[in-house]
Amino acid sequence: MSSRNRYLSKRERQQALAINQGLSAALDDFRSGERNVEKLIAAAKAHLEGVDRLQYRR
């Protein structure tokens, strides 16, 4: 666990993990040749169901 993550609650750590997993999934798809932005976004969002607040720009 990173030094910053120790300040997070258990729920916040779970949300941070979900965000990381979503980004990793999109990166894996990109590295596998996927270039469709909508599909890459969908791959990331698939991991974010438990994240109740997330601000991002598209």
Specify the pLDDT at position 52.
Answer: 76
Domain boundaries, the chain: 9-45
Cβ count within 10 A of residue 44:
19
Specify the pLDDT at position 11.
Answer: 86
**Gyration radius (Cα) of the chain, Å:** 13
Q: Which residue has the higher pLDDT, 58 or 36?
A: 36
Local structure of 6: helix, strand or coil: helix
Specify the pLDDT at position 2.
Answer: 67
Specify the pLDDT at position 8.
Answer: 86
CA distances from 48 to 3, 11, 26, 33, 53 (A): 23, 13, 12, 23, 10
Question: Per residue in 2-57, pLDDT tens?
Answer: 677 788 888 888 888 999 999 999 999 999 999 999 999 999 999 988 787 765 55
Global confidence as pTM: 0.77
Judge contact between 27 and 53, C-beta under 8 A. no
